[in-house]
């Protein structure tokens, strides 16, 4: 399988993760013009599973080091599979809530708040659950602190552009969902690391390597989706209930947009798992969760979610971007 051998390449993979995690929401925005997010999410999950399988049969099956994808799946023990499936279930619930938040509050609010909170809590969870350490814990803490301040700036800016009436109520509900999503999302990566081998070149027996882990993770997401998303379809956070018959009425183009979204997310997540072998789990996770900055860029400059904001609000948004960039840079340096 393909294995990263240098820290600099691991950083490149982490940046790709950040871009992917911060960009898949655009596909939901595109599909949302004619498609409820509950229906979009089925295509999103299907895209995850398909892409994870393709990745395993390609990158996961090339090279002479480590175990190949199919061989790794065949030797995995129940405990390792269980940890990764649990991670998939937890992630799925959090991501459904994040999708709901995006539809209610917008991309530039849901992602910085939800994923930013997940970054802060997730770094701690990764240390505690998977004992992933760094040579510079104080620098890592400083980077995380700057991200916290960036989240606060985003929240204040979002509050300043909130409008009255029903739109304001929806935005507040979206903010609450983003917070809950962030808390849940902060836990999943540590469980993935418990099921993965620490050394990808000579992986421990029974443990998973990144390519088999992302596939099993995606299957866990798909299976839990029959529970979580079915409930959301019957009792949505906003609007009327939707049925499975409506899903099959969607156009091929609409379905492909959702599958693309899941594929983008899966690529980013797989690269995060691969990078963890060289950068460490805490660093790989923290850099990947810089996705809110990417999502906010899309939301501000492409989707115009802060259109009409006053000068002070624009300064808050600019400060948020600056703090995210500096914080992520410090986090990257902390793992070197």
Over residues 169-218, the pLDDT tens digits come to 777 888 889 899 999 988 888 899 899 998 899 999 999 999 999 999 99
Rounded average pLDDT over 270-274? 92
Residue 137 belongs to some domain of the structure: yes
Q: Which residues pair with 208 in a beta bridge?
A: 196
Q: With respect to residue 2, please indicate whether it lies within any of the assigned structural domains.
A: no
| pLDDT single digits (tens) 41-91 | 999 999 999 999 999 999 999 988 889 999 999 999 999 999 999 999 999
Question: What CA–CA distance (Å, rounded) separates 250 from 44?
Answer: 14
Could you give the count of Cα atoms lying within 13 Å of 132 in the half-sphere of its Cβ?
A: 29
Q: Which residue in the block uniquely carries the two structure tokens 């948020």?
A: 320
Kindly tell me if the per-residue pLDDT of 131 is higher than 70.
no
DSSP string, 127-189: HHHH----S-HHHHHHHHHHHHHHHHHHHHHHHHH--SHHHHHHHHHHHHHHHHHHHHHHHHH
List, in order, residues 6 or more apart from 79 with CB less than 8 Å away: 195, 206
CA–CA separation, 40 vs 31, rounded Å?
7
Distance in angstroms (rounded) separating the CA atoms of residues 268 and 305:
25
SS3 labels along 184-219: HHHHHHHHHHHHECCCCCCCCCCCECHHHHHHHHHH
Domains in the chain, number: 1
Answer for the pair 273, 196: CB distance below 8 angstroms, yes or no: yes
Residue 123 within any structural domain of the chain: yes
- Domain carrying residue 154: 7-334
Where is pLDDT greater, at 278 or 221?
221
Q: Is residue 1 part of a domain?
A: no
Residue 279 lies in a domain: yes
The answer to whether position 293 is within a domain reads yes
Cβ pair 220, 85 in contact under 8 A:
yes
Judge if pTM exceeds 0.85: no
Q: Tell me the mean pLDDT in the region 309-329.
A: 87
pLDDT tens digits for range 236-267: 887 899 999 999 999 999 999 999 999 999 99
Residue 128: pLDDT band by 50, 70, 90 thresholds? Answer: low
pLDDT more than 90, % of the chain: 44
Mean pLDDT of the chain: 86
Residue 277 resides in a domain: yes
């Amino acid at each position: 399988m393909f294995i990263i051998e240098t820290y600099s390449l691991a950083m490149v993979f982490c940046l790709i993760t950040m871009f992917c995690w911060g960009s898949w929401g655009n596909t939901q925005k595109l599909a949302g013009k004619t498609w409820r997010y509950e229906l979009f999410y089925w295509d999103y999950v299907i895209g995850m599973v398909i892409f994870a399988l393709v990745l395993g049969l390609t990158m996961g099956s090339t090279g002479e080091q480590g175990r190949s994808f199919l061989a790794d799946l065949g030797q995995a023990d129940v405990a390792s599979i269980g940890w990764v499936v649990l991670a998939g279930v937890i992630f799925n619930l959090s991501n459904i809530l994040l999708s709901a938040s995006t539809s209610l509050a917008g991309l530039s609010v849901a992602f910085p708040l939800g994923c930013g909170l997940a970054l802060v809590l997730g770094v701690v969870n990764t240390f505690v659950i998977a004992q992933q350490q760094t040579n510079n814990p104080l620098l890592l803490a400083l980077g995380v602190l700057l991200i916290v301040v960036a989240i606060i700036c985003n929240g204040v800016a979002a509050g300043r552009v909130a409008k009255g009436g029903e739109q304001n109520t929806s935005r507040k509900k979206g903010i609450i969902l983003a917070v809950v999503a962030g808390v849940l999302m902060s836990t999943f990566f540590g469980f993935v690391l418990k099921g993965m081998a620490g050394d990808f070149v000579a992986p421990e027996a029974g443990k998973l390597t990144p390519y088999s882990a992302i596939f099993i993770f995606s299957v866990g997401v798909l299976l839990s989706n029959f529970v979580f998303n079915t409930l959301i379809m019957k009792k949505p956070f906003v609007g009327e209930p939707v049925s499975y018959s409506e899903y099959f009425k969607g156009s091929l183009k609409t379905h492909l947009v959702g599958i693309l979204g899941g594929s983008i997310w899966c690529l980013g997540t797989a690269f995060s798992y691969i990078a963890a072998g060289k950068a460490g789990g805490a660093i790989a996770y923290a850099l990947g969760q810089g996705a809110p900055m990417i999502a906010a860029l899309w939301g501000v400059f492409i989707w115009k979610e802060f259109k009409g904001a006053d000068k002070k609000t624009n300064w808050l948004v600019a400060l948020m971007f600056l703090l995210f960039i500096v914080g992520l840079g410090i986090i990257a340096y902390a793992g070197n």
